[in-house]
Amino acid sequence: MNKKKIGLVSGVAAVGAALGLSASYIVTKGLVKIAIEREIPKGIPQSKKKISGSPDPTSFSEQLRVCAERLAATPMEQVELYAQDGARLVAHWYPCENAKRVIVAMHGWRSSWTNDFGMITDFWHDNGCSILFAEQRGQNNSGGEYMTFGHLERHDCLDWAKWVTERIEGQLPVYLCGVSMGAATVLMAAGLELPDSVHGIMADCGFTSAHAIWKHVVEKNLHLSYKIHGYMINNICKKTISTDAHDISTLRALPNAKVPILFVHGSDDTFVPIQMTYENYKACASAKRLLVVPGAGHGQSYFVDKASYESETRRFWEEFD
């Protein structure tokens, strides 16, 4: 092959590579937008199905809807505070007469307090729990431009725990509870200096780190190469929320945990694989309990096996109240 042909082939290859990188960057930027930006991109319902790996069963989705609507219609006091970075945070206070304990409930990614806790609220309330339903930053009515997968939310959770402690004048045990990203949030909060009123944490299907969950979703559910997209994702993450995706990690917090933790996960979770809860459980330095619900998908453990879920929760309260 002569020099002109070699130069032409090299030029075409270079252009092809550049176009490939450009296309990868566009896809990656779209993924990050879906992951962390407040604005809901067009087509997010369809994207969420692909991201989670499988759609929810119709029976689960219908009960979720009914319970969420009922909880939304329940009279509550809306409360506010300002986070350490100045973001305005909103929560909903649902007191229980003759309360035995208080739950601070943190919902998941692109979800809501009514959606994630609609099914279980009656069980909590009927068992003597006053509840503070927090609205996570970057979502719904709370401020903040971005969701940070627990990086800033853990400090928000700590602020709400302090708010609750002041509200009840420190007279009742407090439990931090979260589902999915909310679970990762309360697990990361375990590494902070929590008020003495916090007696435990309940974490349902939490991931281990932003890096790990993004890698799982990109490779397993979206069937893309994380080698290509991972580097770009992390760079955009650093520029946007000023932190490395590897540093947003429960595994760094849990060795410092001092309060007991109840871990819950469904065996058939395709969004946050159950292996992540096993890793979290192993890393936890405090007293710990584990409930695995066979056949349950993401966030479906209470729906699939209420009896076991309620039994383990009551046992946890009895032991650590």
CATH of the domain at 58: 3.40.50.1820
Q: Six-digit token pair at 145? A: 């431009």
Contact 240, 32 (CB under 8 A): yes
Show the domain range for 131: 37-209+248-320
∠86-188-82 over CA atoms, to 5°?
A: 15
**Residue ranges, the chain, pLDDT below 70:** 1-28, 30, 41-56, 229
pLDDT score, position 281: 98
Question: Does residue 242 sit within a domain?
Answer: no
Question: Does residue 237 sit within a domain?
Answer: no
pLDDT score, position 25: 53
Q: Six-digit token pair at 247? A: 């540093």
Can you say whether the dihedral through the CA atoms of 252, 290, 125, 64 is positive or negative? positive
Question: Does residue 217 sit within a domain?
Answer: no
Cβ-based burial of 63 (10 A; exposed 0-12, middle 13-18, buried ≥19): middle
Report the DSSP pairing between strands 101-106 and 174-179: parallel
pLDDT score, position 10: 42
Question: Does residue 311 sit within a domain?
Answer: yes
pLDDT score, position 14: 37
Question: Does residue 125 sit within a domain?
Answer: yes
Question: Does residue 28 sit within a domain?
Answer: no
pLDDT score, position 290: 98
Among 20, 36, 298, smallest CA distance to 180 is for: 298
Question: Does residue 168 sit within a domain?
Answer: yes
pLDDT score, position 233: 76
Question: Does residue 14 sit within a domain?
Answer: no
∠148-71-75 over CA atoms, to 5°?
A: 105
How far apart CA 264 and CA 128 sit, in angstroms, is 21
What is the number of domains present in the chain? Answer: 1
pLDDT score, position 191: 97
Model pTM greater than 0.85? yes
